[in-house]
Chain A
Amino acid sequence: MSDVDPILVEIVEGTLASVEMEVETSIARTARSPMIRDAHDFRAGIHDVRLRKLTGRSYSALVHPVVRDFPIETMRPGDVYFHNDVYLSEGGIGHLPDLCVTVPVFHEGEVVAFVQAFGHHDDIGGAVPGSMPSHARSAFEEGLMVPPIKLWDQGVPNRAALTIMTRNSRMPDSLAGDLDAECSACLMGARRLGEIFDRYGRAAVEACFDAIIAKTTETFRRELLSKIPEGVHVWEDYAEHDGVDEPRLHTQRITLTVDHSAEVPLTIDFTGTSAQAKGPINHAGDYADGVFLKKWLAPVLRNLADTPERMAELDVNEGVVPLIRMVFPEKGTLLTPIFPAPTNARTFVILRLLGVLAGVLAKATGGRMPADQETIRYTGVYGESDDGPYLMREVLGGGSGGRWYADGEDTIHVVPDSRNIPVEFAESRWPFLVERLGLAVDSGGPGQFRGGLGYDKHIRMLRDASFMSIADRSILSCWGVNGGRAGRPFLVTVNGEEMEGLVDDFPVKAGEIVRVKTTGGGGWGSPYEREAARVAADVRDGKVSVEAAKNDYGVVLHGPRDDPRIDEEATARLRAAARADAPTPRDAFFDRGPGYPRLSGGLAHADVDHL
């Protein structure tokens, strides 16, 4: 850092953030696939010529597969590269609907950086509308696989490639439109980035890139990793079903070894992770030394910072990579699947891994981490409307886990700026009425800091249709920690009939109601330590029922629901008895909810749940 100008570093970093934002804004405003348009399931990233990610707000795909197949010296201004092939993406692409566009940035005739965007498109073919067949047994059922290709050659689009891709999609127009949006936005970003090289020169700008990355390495080491005690820490969590086999525990395990004096202080070893699933919950992670997963998981480390404000300031760029070594099990596990194992529901693994890392850190730090959240699942209806066939698919968030400083929040989403679909938009486009968009009472895990609540959404179909969902955590709950209890799992009923988490096409008749309840976050700390007044406020606000106040929190209330009064004496009595009976953290540091014994053969806790 000593030989670079700290002022220029600040200017370059500000420009990178500004360009990343401009590219994402441009895509968001013109996109048509609901996953991009509303759920914001797309990301822009800026990478240097050494393929290092420079920006820090988002996760992103990798440039590695592009330069593997197209050497940098063969690239020309106006070239645009494209890929979505999971097994040829070096681990940067998780499932086929994520289409990735890469544009090289030129300075004085040489490639100096890359601007990349990838987004989750409506449909790229395959067995079911939306290209996410939950019962797929092979990648060939999941859609069209495109290895890295040159989609534009020096400004000229490759019409043949575009025609093949749109021909293979059920939604060719939105696919074409969204690809145009991504290409135009990346080309704009590449021009903007070129300007900063022109102004300050390549050497000065690249010195700033080095400094920006080194700064992240140092900050993470000094401010976050130092909070984890040295030693070996083990924890695991599970996906509950894969769409093919009966529900069972699909283990994802992390053995975290911390050695502050080592050059690479963290080792994340996935050994102990279950065999690859027959169904589509695999994630091809063991490529390029796990560089994608390192950047995907590192944001969890930010929870170790001193305040939520500080956590939000910390960027995750390539600087986290030198701090983490990854050890993958042999080929053939959930994280090391063998082609053509299906991957379309790989969120079951990569989202869960965020939680496994949070859990292992909670264990290592005596609970100074948030309880569990689950925020991605797809629910939708499809069929025929007056305008022809339609697919309404939404990503509804869930509650976040309680934290040592605050309750979890209601209906949030791990993807930044991901949005639900406005009811007034939905009803003008698709044949249903939303009868309720509320919070699922009692869904938040009880705790001194309660888990956030999930949705309670009721949709009344006006025409016959099919229901689909891709959801984990329909049996297992978001775990509570440090005495906090698990949240309620995901549950859909169609006309009162309970659905499983993975549904491709369940018939819904006109007039019937689809009721979607999403997961509540886990609780943090003992619910008996929660202030009784806060429990009463939750009851007044409709977030906790009078019964749960008594049974889960030991708080006895009387009077009207919208102005409940605390029976102090009965509460003290009940809480004293409950504290005496409650399990201590010595018994189990995590609560996985009532679904766990169902899949574990009756065990209340896993071995790794004990401190």
Chain B
Amino acid sequence: MGSVRIGVDTGGTFTDVVLVDEETGEIVTTKTPSTPANPADGFMAGVHKVLELHAGSDDLGGVAAIVHGTTVATNQLLEDRPDGTEHLGFVTTEGFEFILEIARQSVPDGYGNSYFWVKPPRIVPVRRVRTVGGRLDHLGREVRSFDEAGAVQAARWFAENGVTAIGVCFLHSYANPAHERRMREVIEREHPDAVVSLSSDVLREYREYERSVTTLVDAAVKPIMRRYIGNLSDRIGRPFSVMKSNGGVLSASEVVHQPITTVLSGPAAGALGAALIAGTAGHPGVITLDGGGTSTDVAVVVDGEPSLTTEGTIGRYPCKIPMIDIVTVGAGGGSIAWISPEGTLKVGPRSAGADPGPLCYGRGGTEVTVTDAHVFLGRVPPHLLGGEIPLDVSAARAGIEALAGKLGLSPERCATGILEISAFNQSNAIRQITVKRGLDVRDFPMVAFGGSGPLLACRLIDILGLRAAIVPPNPGNVSAFGLLTVDVKNDYVRTHVSRDPSRETLRAVFAELEGQAAAALDREGFTSHVYARSADLRYYGQAYEVRVPAPDGPLDDGWRAAVVDRFHEAHQRLYGYGYRDDPRHAVEWVNLRVSGIGPITRPAIARVPYQPEEPSPIATRDVFYERWGRTVIYRRADLGAGAVVTGPAVVEEYGSTLPVHPGFTATMDDYGNLVVVSDS
């Protein structure tokens, strides 16, 4: 077995690759263009390139593990292609064929929008929904028996109508999966070519509409995911793992059975990588900010762990599987600045993307972007990727001047205004995610990474009152690095609604959940297992639960009391009130959960050498902060631990730039991170 582990993060534009040599501690990073027509081409090119860089040979013999993060499976849903779900059908309980049309009846956004709102298309139109008789109650008891003949009819209809992926969701199947399993048997017999997802496998949690949609997302991506993973396995010729949205990984051979667990895994890897980098540098709690071309992803890390949610969405579709809680805002380098019909300046959410891209790319872009504002102000160099791609500063200037003219502002005020609005859009996302968790944003440093993440670091420190911003080395590769920091992790849930669950029930449910977790970890070859319990509780009458971690150990009265106590505390922290000492407010248990974890060895981050003398700039350039001024430019590679850069200045590296505003100081820490603080 070799000592080399490789992370491959396939994005829309670039495939990022990171190699860690566990013997030497060496970390090698590189990028290759993504190949959307066949992503495996870009994947293999990246793996070979990083191996060449590391050992001068593209031989995979020394590779211990490959971990892959991909959004291939979800792109068809996110891009909203009309043909993206044409192969998909749905089976549900008799009487409920309109469940997807009705959804939760809610009209989004403003009061009165019901007059003009046009419902977007459903994930499965009603013509491809079939119903089958049979009914369970909320405890899983059979009210009416399963209608086998109806099931056969439905399966045959799908076979005759070219439906090849089928989601099954019967009422109360979270309490008893028997009817759903019989439906699967019927489909396997009558329509063996179809792939099937059962809601009781995907999400054993109540609320039928959300469970149905989650199941259908799983079924929709299954054929594509199987094809993609199969193709990749053939090319690599060895086992590999795939990143999951919950912050764990799973072997490729297992993942094809539950592909929904991989959707949105790209941003999750970034948050995990940032968490490890910050934790190593002595910051167990941080906000992570991953700035890309079209959007920015924000997450919160507490005690080294990014927080999870089960209320995520994939595009328009609610997806209630556990995933790292990430708020995405349409504010990135390519976000377009425009003037509303009311005459105010707006930034995003529309993006120029990579093609045509900002004006300064000179590829036919016609609208001013955030990147153009940075270029015009001199805050980023007039080229990308260390000089590989030159930028057209005059095109950016002309665009800014034209926009400024329409607003009656100076070009400098217009450009700084674009950046200020972009920073506020990001800061509102950061507030949202911290307020929701009952956290005070001022207690947290922020890790800023991704190509555009560090650019607004100083403004965000100021707006949010942050303690510091931490910019890791190679900010553009943090997501790929994150892939190498991840344990194997599977989640299991069971809804059991009760104000007074018996010890027997708790023992039975947890025994079953931990049994499932153990079996999966055994299949992955782990001998040491970790089981993390948690529970969702609420005050009786509430509709939303609060998840709290639950202790290990025997499931006795003391255990129950400890969980309830944690719930009171969490409710108080989240919402500003709680009823620990008020017995009138009963506590209700809703979901019991177990995560099965197979731990890996995390890569160690090496210290950088200390820098005894003052760093010397490589150049000066005219940069506008509060006014134009000749500003010193540093090359990041020239800085060592302890190096101090006092603003105004700019620190440049291969894939990213850090503008250090007047009144701010950036200091390199022992691990090569630039730690930016406000002087005031």
Is B98's CB under 8 angstroms from A438's CB? Answer: yes
Is B96's CB under 8 angstroms from A416's CB? Answer: no
Is residue A448 contacting chain B, with contact meaning CB distance below 8 A? no
Is residue A547 contacting chain B, with contact meaning CB distance below 8 A? no
Is B341's CB under 8 angstroms from A219's CB? Answer: yes
Is B118's CB under 8 angstroms from A6's CB? Answer: no
- Nearest-neighbor residue (CB-CB) of A1 within chain B: B343
- Nearest-neighbor residue (CB-CB) of A414 within chain B: B114
Is B126's CB under 8 angstroms from A541's CB? Answer: yes
Is A32's CB under 8 angstroms from B539's CB? Answer: yes
Is residue A264 contacting chain B, with contact meaning CB distance below 8 A? no
Is residue A271 contacting chain B, with contact meaning CB distance below 8 A? no
Q: How far is the CA of A299 from the CA of B112 in the complex (A)?
A: 6
Is A397's CB under 8 angstroms from B112's CB? Answer: no
* A6 touches which of B126, B345, B576, B585 (Cβ 8 Å): B345
Is B108's CB under 8 angstroms from A416's CB? Answer: yes
Is residue B601 contacting chain A, with contact meaning CB distance below 8 A? no
Stretch among B382-390, B418-426, B559-567, B609-617 lining the A interface = B418-426
Stretch among A180-188, A248-256, A463-471 lining the B interface = A180-188
Is A435's CB under 8 angstroms from B95's CB? Answer: yes
- Nearest-neighbor residue (CB-CB) of B586 within chain A: A173
A178 to chain B, nearest CB (A): 9
Question: What 0/1 pattern do residues 62 to 78 of B give for CB contact below 8 A with A?
Answer: 00000000000000000
Known A-B contacts A419-B104, A422-B208; A32 and B541 likewise in contact (beta carbons under 8 Å): yes
Q: How far is the CA of A22 from the CA of B420 in the complex (A)?
A: 22
For B, the interface residue count at a CB cutoff of 8 angstroms equals: 72
Is B115's CB under 8 angstroms from A400's CB? Answer: yes
Q: Which A9-38 residues have a C-beta within 8 angstroms of B? A: 9-11, 13-15, 18, 21-22, 25-26, 28-33, 37-38
Q: Which residues of B contact A32 (CB under 8 A)?
A: 539-542
Is residue A384 contacting chain B, with contact meaning CB distance below 8 A? no
Is residue A308 contacting chain B, with contact meaning CB distance below 8 A? yes
Is residue B627 contacting chain A, with contact meaning CB distance below 8 A? no
B108 to chain A, nearest CB (A): 7
* B115 touches which of A7, A316, A373, A424 (Cβ 8 Å): A373
Q: Which residues of B contact A33 (CB under 8 A)?
A: 541
Q: How far is the CA of A358 from the CA of B417 in the complex (A)?
A: 40
Is residue A579 contacting chain B, with contact meaning CB distance below 8 A? no
Question: What 0/1 pattern do residues 307 to 329 of A give for CB contact below 8 A with B?
Answer: 01001100110000000000000
For A, the interface residue count at a CB cutoff of 8 angstroms equals: 98
Q: Which residues of B contact A434 (CB under 8 A)?
A: 95
Is B110's CB under 8 angstroms from A300's CB? Answer: no
Name which of B105, B119, B206, B436 has the most chain A CB atoms within 10 A of its CB. B105
Q: How far is the CA of A265 from the CA of B585 in the complex (A)?
A: 53
- Nearest-neighbor residue (CB-CB) of A436 within chain B: B95
- Nearest-neighbor residue (CB-CB) of B584 within chain A: A173
Q: How far is the CA of A397 from the CA of B138 in the complex (A)?
A: 25
Is A427's CB under 8 angstroms from B172's CB? Answer: yes
Q: Which residues of A contact B118 (CB under 8 A)?
A: 308, 406, 409
Q: Which residues of A contact B577 (CB under 8 A)?
A: 180-181, 184
Q: How far is the CA of A302 from the CA of B540 in the complex (A)?
A: 40
Number of A-B contacts (CB under 8 A): 242
Known A-B contacts A32-B541, A370-B116, A424-B208; A312 and B109 likewise in contact (beta carbons under 8 Å): yes
Q: Which residues of A contact B417 (CB under 8 A)?
A: 5-7
Is residue B552 contacting chain A, with contact meaning CB distance below 8 A? no
Is B127's CB under 8 angstroms from A57's CB? Answer: no
Is residue A599 contacting chain B, with contact meaning CB distance below 8 A? no
Is residue A375 contacting chain B, with contact meaning CB distance below 8 A? yes
Q: How far is the CA of A543 from the CA of B138 in the complex (A)?
A: 30
Is A10's CB under 8 angstroms from B346's CB? Answer: yes
Is residue A540 contacting chain B, with contact meaning CB distance below 8 A? yes
Q: How far is the CA of A427 from the CA of B135 in the complex (A)?
A: 12
Q: Which residues of B contact A2 (CB under 8 A)?
A: 408
Known A-B contacts A57-B109, A188-B576, A438-B97; A400 and B114 likewise in contact (beta carbons under 8 Å): yes
- Nearest-neighbor residue (CB-CB) of B210 within chain A: A422
Q: Which residues of B contact A311 (CB under 8 A)?
A: 113, 116
Is B95's CB under 8 angstroms from A541's CB? Answer: no
Stretch among B279-287, B427-435, B662-670 lining the A interface = B427-435
Q: Which A133-190 residues have a C-beta within 8 angstroms of B? A: 172-174, 176-177, 180-181, 184-185, 187-188
Is A18's CB under 8 angstroms from B116's CB? Answer: no
Question: What 0/1 pattern do residues 362 to 396 of A give for CB contact below 8 A with B?
Answer: 00000000100101000000000000000000001
B550 to chain A, nearest CB (A): 21
Is residue A261 contacting chain B, with contact meaning CB distance below 8 A? no
Q: Which residues of A contact B436 (CB under 8 A)?
A: 25
A374 to chain B, nearest CB (A): 11
Is B576's CB under 8 angstroms from A373's CB? Answer: no
Q: Which residues of B contact A436 (CB under 8 A)?
A: 95-96
Is A31's CB under 8 angstroms from B407's CB? Answer: no
* B543 touches which of A38, A397, A416 (Cβ 8 Å): A38
B123 to chain A, nearest CB (A): 16
Q: Which residues of A contact B344 (CB under 8 A)?
A: 6, 9-10, 13, 215
Is B106's CB under 8 angstroms from A413's CB? Answer: yes
Q: Which residues of A contact B105 (CB under 8 A)?
A: 396-397, 411-413, 418-420
Is residue B143 contacting chain A, with contact meaning CB distance below 8 A? yes
* B420 touches which of A1, A11, A218 (Cβ 8 Å): A11
Is B541's CB under 8 angstroms from A412's CB? Answer: no
Is A439's CB under 8 angstroms from B544's CB? Answer: no
Q: Which B393-423 residues have a C-beta within 8 angstroms of A? A: 407-409, 413, 417, 420-421
Q: Which residues of A contact B135 (CB under 8 A)?
A: 433
Q: Which residues of A contact B407 (CB under 8 A)?
A: 6
Is residue A274 contacting chain B, with contact meaning CB distance below 8 A? no
Q: Which residues of B contact A28 (CB under 8 A)?
A: 544
* A312 touches which of B116, B171, B571 (Cβ 8 Å): B116
- Nearest-neighbor residue (CB-CB) of B93 within chain A: A423
Known A-B contacts A18-B432, A433-B143, A437-B95; A428 and B345 likewise in contact (beta carbons under 8 Å): no
Is A417's CB under 8 angstroms from B106's CB? Answer: yes
Is residue A403 contacting chain B, with contact meaning CB distance below 8 A? yes
A189 to chain B, nearest CB (A): 10
Is residue B99 contacting chain A, with contact meaning CB distance below 8 A? yes
* B110 touches which of A57, A308, A396, A458 (Cβ 8 Å): A57
Known A-B contacts A18-B432, A436-B96; A416 and B143 likewise in contact (beta carbons under 8 Å): no
Is residue A359 contacting chain B, with contact meaning CB distance below 8 A? no
Is residue B101 contacting chain A, with contact meaning CB distance below 8 A? yes
Is B575's CB under 8 angstroms from A428's CB? Answer: no
Is residue A65 contacting chain B, with contact meaning CB distance below 8 A? no
- Nearest-neighbor residue (CB-CB) of A540 within chain B: B127
- Nearest-neighbor residue (CB-CB) of A122 within chain B: B541
Is B110's CB under 8 angstroms from A416's CB? Answer: yes
Is A7's CB under 8 angstroms from B114's CB? Answer: no
Is residue A415 contacting chain B, with contact meaning CB distance below 8 A? yes
Is A416's CB under 8 angstroms from B107's CB? Answer: yes
Known A-B contacts A26-B575, A32-B542, A184-B577; A412 and B117 likewise in contact (beta carbons under 8 Å): yes
Q: How far is the CA of A52 from the CA of B355 in the complex (A)?
A: 45
Q: Which residues of A contact B511 (CB under 8 A)?
A: none
Question: What 0/1 pattern do residues 534 to 564 of B give for CB contact below 8 A with A?
Answer: 0000011111100000000000000000000
Is A299's CB under 8 angstroms from B111's CB? Answer: yes
Known A-B contacts A411-B105, A416-B111, A419-B104; A6 and B343 likewise in contact (beta carbons under 8 Å): yes
Q: Which residues of A contact B584 (CB under 8 A)?
A: 172-173, 176
Known A-B contacts A57-B109, A184-B575, A184-B577; A22 and B432 likewise in contact (beta carbons under 8 Å): yes
Q: State the B residues within 8 Å of A (CB).
A: 95-99, 101-102, 104-119, 125-127, 135, 137-138, 143, 171-172, 174, 206-209, 341-346, 407-409, 413, 417, 420-421, 424-425, 428, 431-432, 435-436, 463, 497, 539-544, 571, 575-577, 579, 584-585
Known pairs A1-B343, A412-B105. 7 more at Cβ < 8 A? A28-B544, A30-B539, A59-B111, A184-B577, A416-B113, A420-B104, A424-B138
12 pairs of residues in contact across A and B, judged by CB atoms under 8 Å:
A1-B343, A32-B539, A32-B542, A173-B541, A219-B342, A312-B109, A373-B114, A412-B117, A422-B104, A428-B206, A433-B135, A542-B97
6 A-B pairs with the lowest CB-CB distances in the bound complex, closest first: A299-B112, A32-B541, A7-B417, A436-B95, A184-B576, A428-B138
